[in-house]
Chain A
Amino acid sequence: MPHISFQEAIDAALAFDFQAVGSRQVARSLERETLSLEDLGALLSPAAAENLEDLAARSRDLTLRHFGLNVTLFTPLYLANHCVNHCLYCGFSALGDIRRGALTESDVDQELAAIEVTGLEDVLLLTGDSRARSGPEYIFRCAALAAKRLKKVGLEVYPLSIREYSRARDAGVDYVCVYQETYEPNLYAHVHLKGPKRNYAWRLAAPERALAAGVRGVGLGALLGLGDFRRDVLALGWHALYLSRLHPQAEISFSVPRLRPAPGHVVFQQSPVSEAELAQIIMALRIFMPWAGISLSTRERPFFRDHLVGLGATRLSAGVRTSVGGHSGPDHGEEQFFKSDPRNVPQVCQALAQMGFQAVFNDYIRL
């Protein structure tokens, strides 16, 4: 593949003309073994939406070959929801008048114990963006507590420096999720009014810093519905491919969150993404990068999540609380978004079994 720089690829993704793609190009792109940026663009186009069944067949085949009949389960644990950013779409935004809280370390351990009882082994620790109220040292201590009890620990917090990611890794963090929300710089500036999150470039380079610090995996994502989802997903795919070339050993996974109603001060008018469009996104990403994990959160309803397993999704959250704490007792702060899938772990396992899939709690050893 010809060499183009990361920024050139992102620019090309944002300038891609999806309307110009015809059904012949979609068919050609579906045939290819190694897809280019243009091919991913073709699979995300309106023309490809007309051929969704063909995308599904290819996506299913690749998903089964690479992941078998396995679906990994994880659960998020919100440590704190203090936030200094003014983001127009988020329930945690500093603009919102919501109940704020942070778990003490003893709360965290209690929450982890409650998660442990469910059999889950993969936890994703989250905070809002407040270095004063939930600073890096606090996060590292919480990660160490999680690493003691569970087999895999992820971090979804504000972007850290290389040195901090390296500390996080030493504390037991196995993967880091930093979602760019939107790859379009103008829109990014428009929806992030105030706070450290305004720094687009610092956030964009965060997954690369995490991998450079020796973290084993990264999760990338765009908040679907914020801007033109086609452009954002094309840029997202290219971001992932760039990282996998730079760090071939890295485990890369995608998240495809759709904007959800949330408490607090949420003013942004979204451009809604339909379920059919989300299915297209998941299948296009699977075909583009067959080896990458794809997570589907409880933002989606059970029926949709269950059917996307085997068509591309390989990681599901279960037993989810999107408020601060809430796994072991009453929560300590309000939710980030209202979820659509309230099922507990046995219910998710049962649904997967009915689809012929196996819920995997653990496929990882911290080394």
Chain B
Amino acid sequence: MTGVLPGDELALAGRLFGSRLILGSGKHPIERLTEVVEAGGVEIVTLALRRANLNGPGDILDHLPPGRAILPNTSGARTAKEALTLARLARELGCGDLIKIEVIADSRTLLPDNEETLQAVALLSEDGFAPLAYMTPDPVMGRKMEQAGAAAVMPLGAPIGSNRGLTTKEMVKLMVECLQVPVIVDAGLGRPSQACEAMELGVAAVMVNTAVATSDDPPAMAKAFALAVQAGRAAYLAGLGPVGRPQASSPLTGFLWEEKGSQDPSSQEKF
């Protein structure tokens, strides 16, 4: 179930993906991952390196259907240098060069540290990685990330795990307008309708974890998110019409023509 429109694949660092739903793996029992990934038609699954046991028991690769990409992340890093260490580890483990930078130094909110993240983007792209920058939404910072070599930016919709939806909508919208690289909404989306809303704005993809993992039926919820992502993407491509502004019951400019004997603006007396 990719449902991708012809020619509308997601392009990330030169690779094409049929699905615009990215799934976080951290909050699921690993044995359940195959079923969830298949139900959602997911092609990219993120993996925290600190949790990875690649080539050992509980290796995530044993639980992924074939043809799916792993997007390793640097969670656990508190500084740009630590993110670089983790990225190099990912490369040694054979995860490739696509990597999601997470630099977090606030255990309470788990909000990213944009300043360290920017430095990490520069360090990693110099080192040949294609970094995706998880960040607090900010179009100015997003542009700097892009200039420093980010392959994509990943602004959060709301604090991670909060299921609040696109509380950062205005900033995300500005990022979509201002940046050339793909904008992927990561964190905070709790409902398929919120993912749809993000896609309608023109973001390239969305990432979810908690909302699927903690649902009563994770495969069904993954499918629901996939459908919402497709609907939002289709709506964005179709071009949303003007929405919601009511017509005034009498024309606001009617006064211009209401004076006695002047029905036609061209006949109005000129001063």
Q: Across the interface, do B49 and A248 meet the contact criterion of CB distance under 8 Å? A: no
The interface-forming segment of B100-108, B130-138, B176-184 is: B100-108
Majority-rule SS of A interface residues = loop
The interface-forming segment of B76-84, B197-205, B247-255 is: B76-84
Query: In the complex, which residues of chain B have a beta carbon less than 8 angstroms from the beta carbon of A356?
Result: 29
**A248 vs B106: C-alpha distance in the bound complex, in angstroms?**
5
User: Quick one: which of A67, A244, A362, A367 contacts B53, CB cutoff 8 A?
Assistant: A362
Query: In the complex, which residues of chain B have a beta carbon less than 8 angstroms from the beta carbon of A361?
Result: 53, 58
Q: Is A365 among interface residues, defined by CB-CB distance under 8 A? A: yes
Minimum CB–CB distance from A38 to chain B (whole Å) comes to 19
User: Quick one: which of A68, A362, A365 contacts B27, CB cutoff 8 A?
Assistant: A68
Q: Which residues in window 164-209 of A have CB below 8 A to B?
A: none
Q: Across the interface, do A249 and B105 meet the contact criterion of CB distance under 8 Å? A: yes
User: Quick one: which of A68, A248, A291 contacts B105, CB cutoff 8 A?
Assistant: A248
Q: A64-B214, A68-B213 are in contact. Are A353 and B106 (CB under 8 A)?
A: no
**A66 vs B108: C-alpha distance in the bound complex, in angstroms?**
10
Q: Across the interface, do B76 and A357 meet the contact criterion of CB distance under 8 Å? A: no
**A362 vs B58: C-alpha distance in the bound complex, in angstroms?**
11
Q: Across the interface, do A367 and B85 meet the contact criterion of CB distance under 8 Å? A: yes
CB-CB nearest in chain A for B211: A65
Q: Which residues in window 206-224 of B have CB below 8 A to A?
A: 209-210, 213-214
Query: In the complex, which residues of chain A have a beta carbon less than 8 angstroms from the beta carbon of B82?
Result: 367
Q: Is A27 among interface residues, defined by CB-CB distance under 8 A? A: no
Minimum CB–CB distance from B182 to chain A (whole Å) comes to 26
Q: Is B12 among interface residues, defined by CB-CB distance under 8 A? A: no
Q: Is B14 among interface residues, defined by CB-CB distance under 8 A? A: no
Query: In the complex, which residues of chain A have a beta carbon less than 8 angstroms from the beta carbon of B256?
Result: none
Q: Is A261 among interface residues, defined by CB-CB distance under 8 A? A: no
Minimum CB–CB distance from B55 to chain A (whole Å) comes to 14
User: Quick one: which of B57, B86, B106, B162 contacts A365, CB cutoff 8 A?
Assistant: B86
Q: Is A331 among interface residues, defined by CB-CB distance under 8 A? A: no
Q: A69-B28, A69-B29, A362-B51 are in contact. Are A367 and B107 (CB under 8 A)?
A: no
Q: Is B110 among interface residues, defined by CB-CB distance under 8 A? A: yes
Q: Across the interface, do B49 and A365 meet the contact criterion of CB distance under 8 Å? A: yes
**A365 vs B108: C-alpha distance in the bound complex, in angstroms?**
19
Q: Is B235 among interface residues, defined by CB-CB distance under 8 A? A: no
Q: Is B163 among interface residues, defined by CB-CB distance under 8 A? A: yes
Q: A69-B214, A251-B107, A291-B107 are in contact. Are A363 and B78 (CB under 8 A)?
A: no
Q: Is A250 among interface residues, defined by CB-CB distance under 8 A? A: yes
Q: A357-B29, A365-B76 are in contact. Are A249 and B106 (CB under 8 A)?
A: yes
**A64 vs B28: C-alpha distance in the bound complex, in angstroms?**
11
**A69 vs B30: C-alpha distance in the bound complex, in angstroms?**
10
**A66 vs B214: C-alpha distance in the bound complex, in angstroms?**
10
Query: In the complex, which residues of chain B have a beta carbon less than 8 angstroms from the beta carbon of A365?
Result: 49-50, 76, 86, 89
Q: Is B61 among interface residues, defined by CB-CB distance under 8 A? A: no
**A64 vs B163: C-alpha distance in the bound complex, in angstroms?**
11
**A119 vs B104: C-alpha distance in the bound complex, in angstroms?**
28
Q: Across the interface, do A68 and B210 meet the contact criterion of CB distance under 8 Å? A: yes
- Contact digits for B213-243, partner A, Cβ 8 Å, 1 yes 0 no: 1100000000000000000000000000000
User: Quick one: which of B27, B57, B107, B213 contacts A252, CB cutoff 8 A?
Assistant: B107
**A367 vs B76: C-alpha distance in the bound complex, in angstroms?**
8
Q: Across the interface, do A362 and B50 meet the contact criterion of CB distance under 8 Å? A: yes
Query: In the complex, which residues of chain A have a beta carbon less than 8 angstroms from the beta carbon of B108?
Result: 244, 248, 291
Q: Across the interface, do A65 and B163 meet the contact criterion of CB distance under 8 Å? A: yes
Query: In the complex, which residues of chain A have a beta carbon less than 8 angstroms from the beta carbon of B86?
Result: 365, 367
Q: Is A358 among interface residues, defined by CB-CB distance under 8 A? A: yes
**A66 vs B163: C-alpha distance in the bound complex, in angstroms?**
11
Query: In the complex, which residues of chain A have a beta carbon less than 8 angstroms from the beta carbon of B58?
Result: 361
- Contact digits for A47-64, partner B, Cβ 8 Å, 1 yes 0 no: 000000000000000001
Q: Is B161 among interface residues, defined by CB-CB distance under 8 A? A: yes
Query: In the complex, which residues of chain A have a beta carbon less than 8 angstroms from the beta carbon of B76?
Result: 364-365, 367
Q: Is A360 among interface residues, defined by CB-CB distance under 8 A? A: yes
Q: Is B96 among interface residues, defined by CB-CB distance under 8 A? A: no
Q: A69-B213, A365-B76 are in contact. Are A353 and B107 (CB under 8 A)?
A: no
Q: Is A70 among interface residues, defined by CB-CB distance under 8 A? A: yes
Q: Is B139 among interface residues, defined by CB-CB distance under 8 A? A: no
Q: A244-B107, A248-B108, A249-B106 are in contact. Are A367 and B162 (CB under 8 A)?
A: no
Query: In the complex, which residues of chain B have a beta carbon less than 8 angstroms from the beta carbon of A367?
Result: 76-78, 82, 85-86
**A360 vs B53: C-alpha distance in the bound complex, in angstroms?**
11
Query: In the complex, which residues of chain B have a beta carbon less than 8 angstroms from the beta carbon of A252?
Result: 107
5 CB < 8 A contacts A-B: A248-B107, A249-B104, A252-B107, A361-B58, A367-B82
Q: Give chain A's interface residues, CB within 8 Å of chain B.
A: 64-70, 119, 244, 248-252, 291, 353, 356-358, 360-365, 367
Since A248-B108, A251-B107, A367-B86 are in contact, a sample of 13 more A-B pairs with Cβ atoms closer than 8 Å, ordered by chain A residue number, is A64-B210, A66-B161, A248-B105, A249-B78, A291-B108, A358-B29, A361-B58, A363-B48, A364-B76, A365-B76, A365-B86, A365-B89, A367-B76
8 closest residue pairs by CB, A with B: A68-B27, A358-B29, A65-B161, A249-B105, A365-B50, A64-B214, A367-B82, A248-B106
